Amino acid sequence: MTQSFFGPSIIDRVFVATGGHCSSKIYKNGSDTIVAYDNIFQQSSCRRLGGNWTGGHDVSGHCVMLIHASLFLWEELSWVFWSVPTFQRIRSQGGLEWFSILSVFSLLGLWWWMVLMTSVYFHGHLELLSGCVFGILGWAFTYLYAFPSIPFIGMPPKSLASDENTSNSIPMERLSEPEEVDQSL
């Protein structure tokens, strides 16, 4: 999500747009000289030249990815909150379905712990806030615009416990075997 095959990542673009640039210390004639590279727009290219990103606003990429991925999994598990009888049935049966739900919730807990540790040790408040905004925007674009506008994806039924709301599923007639055609004509 943060990298692009259309050029520098969104995070690098924000960094450069807010005044960031690549610079390097060079030892010349007995003194340190700081050299700025004007045409470097990616952090990876700057590091390859031995430079450092300076100035600019550093969006927290950890925050972007962890929040985007967490919201993605929360969205995929949202049926748990809307279909309590189905959730209770799966919990009482145990098995692989229950184990996979517990695994996803454990992963979500781990990711939120990682966001907390990132916020404490690695980034400032504005960097975290902008990371949260980009993570939420990525999720919102995907689930509120892209998925609903693609007709063959559809949205999940409101309740998995009832068969009434299956307007987005494939009709059973289409799944049955085709009728034999009389070819004696």
Residues serving a catalytic function are 62, 123
User: For residue 151, with 0-12 CB atoms within 10 Å meaning exposed, 13-18 middle and 19 or more buried, which class applies?
Assistant: exposed
Q: What is the Cα–Cα distance from 70 to 135, expressed in whole angstroms?
A: 9
SS3 150: coil
- Dihedral of the alpha carbons of 105, 111, 113, 115, in degrees to the nearest 10: -140
134: closest CA among 66, 81, 38? Answer: 66
